[in-house]
């Protein structure tokens, strides 16, 4: 079975790459649409991901650029239609996903949307209003709180809590760019934002209002170091790190006395931090 699935994915990759390379001409071909629909179905089942764990990679993750090309192909092939009884107007290739009880995903009433091509595992809880974009992967037991966003191709692990108004940025282009990755048991506080391919390792905690981007240096006061993105790797928050918003002073000419935003690792997760997350289990 595994060998058959590998062959299926390999064949699908070849077709996606072929039709993407055809540019606008692919819009006239039914085979191109069939290839996209197959990809969309495998994204929704979790069989294919835009990025996947890979122990052989320095980052521990492998970006599947061809999947991103396939998602972009879907936009190229789509035509504008009314969706959900005229409530929305969008590409016909990306309607809103419809779930059943058998899917095991809890979507509380109140205006949430999950775009087709996104994967939500059993036990995911969606608190309205929230939004998950195409290509995203949300694993078991994760809670997406109200006004939270999971962007295109973002990878969210098991038992993650995205608090109210948390933003997980998406990325489709450039296709080789890393998506945002939140590993298992990460807690993202309210009004926080994780963007530009940032990787948050297992068990890390982002306090409310924390913003992480590729250009954001993070000060680790526990280990007396500064964590930055490099040309080869995105910003990576260590496992168990507790990150809070902070600032650092500017000591330069006329700017003396000013300060700039700086996330700070003030500690690493311990029993007290874990106790503060017990409430999440009661809400699931």
110-166, pLDDT tens digit by residue? 989 999 999 999 999 999 999 999 999 999 999 999 999 999 999 999 999 999 999
- Give me the mean pLDDT over the 169-174 stretch: 87
| Number of residues that this document lists for the chain | 284
How many domains does one find in the chain? 2
pLDDT score of 144: 98
How many Å apart are CA 235 and CA 129, to the nearest integer?
29
Question: What string of DSSP letters covers 159-195?
Answer: T-EE-TT-EE----SSTTSPPPEE-TT-EE-TT-EE-
Average per-residue pLDDT for the chain: 93
Domain final residue pick, 91, 115, 141: 91
pLDDT for 40 beyond 60: yes
- Examine the domain organization and report whether 255 and 228 are in the same domain: yes
Question: What string of DSSP letters covers 93-126?
Answer: TSPBP---GGGT-EE-SSS-EEBTT-EE-TT-EE
How many Å apart are CA 195 and CA 205, to the nearest integer?
16
pTM over 0.75: yes
pLDDT tens track for 96-114? 999 999 999 999 999 899 9
State which residues form the domain around 10.
2-91
pLDDT band (50, 70, 90) for residue 87: confident
3-class SS of residue 226: strand
pLDDT score of 275: 59
Structure tokens at 14: 């070849």
- Examine the domain organization and report whether 105 and 37 are in the same domain: no
Whichever domain contains 113, its CATH number is 2.160.10.10
pLDDT score of 268: 96
pLDDT for 194 beyond 50: yes
pLDDT score of 279: 47
How many Å apart are CA 134 and CA 132, to the nearest integer?
7
- Examine the domain organization and report whether 84 and 130 are in the same domain: no
């Amino acid at each position: 079975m595994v060998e058959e699935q590998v062959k299926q994915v390999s064949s699908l990759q070849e077709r996606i790459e072929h039709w993407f390379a055809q540019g606008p001409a692919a819009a006239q071909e039914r085979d191109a649409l069939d290839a996209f629909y197959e990809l969309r179905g495998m994204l929704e089942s979790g069989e294919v991901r835009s990025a996947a764990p890979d122990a052989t990679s320095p980052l521990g993750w492998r970006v599947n650029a061809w999947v991103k090309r396939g998602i972009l192909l879907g936009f190229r092939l789509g035509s504008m239609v009314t969706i959900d009884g005229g409530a929305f107007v969008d590409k016909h290739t990306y309607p809103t996903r419809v779930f059943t009880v058998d899917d095991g995903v809890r979507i509380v009433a109140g205006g949430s949307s999950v775009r087709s091509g996104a994967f939500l595992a059993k036990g995911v809880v969606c608190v309205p209003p929230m939004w998950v974009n195409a290509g995203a992967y949300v694993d078991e037991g994760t809670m997406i709180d109200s006004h939270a966003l999971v962007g295109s191709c973002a990878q969210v692990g098991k038992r993650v809590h995205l608090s109210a108004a948390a933003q997980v940025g998406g990325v489709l282009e450039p296709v080789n760019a890393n998506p945002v990755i939140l590993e298992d048991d990460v807690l993202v506080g309210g009004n926080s934002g994780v963007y530009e391919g940032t990787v948050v390792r297992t068990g890390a905690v982002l306090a409310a209002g924390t913003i992480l981007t590729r250009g954001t240096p993070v000060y680790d006061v526990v280990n007396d170091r500064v964590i930055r993105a490099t040309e080869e790797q995105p910003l990576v928050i260590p496992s168990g790190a507790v990150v809070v918003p902070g600032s650092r002073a500017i000591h330069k000419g006329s700017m003396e006395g000013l300060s700039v935003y700086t996330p700070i690792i003030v500690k690493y997760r311990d029993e007290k931090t874990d106790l503060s997350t017990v409430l999440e289990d009661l809400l699931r």
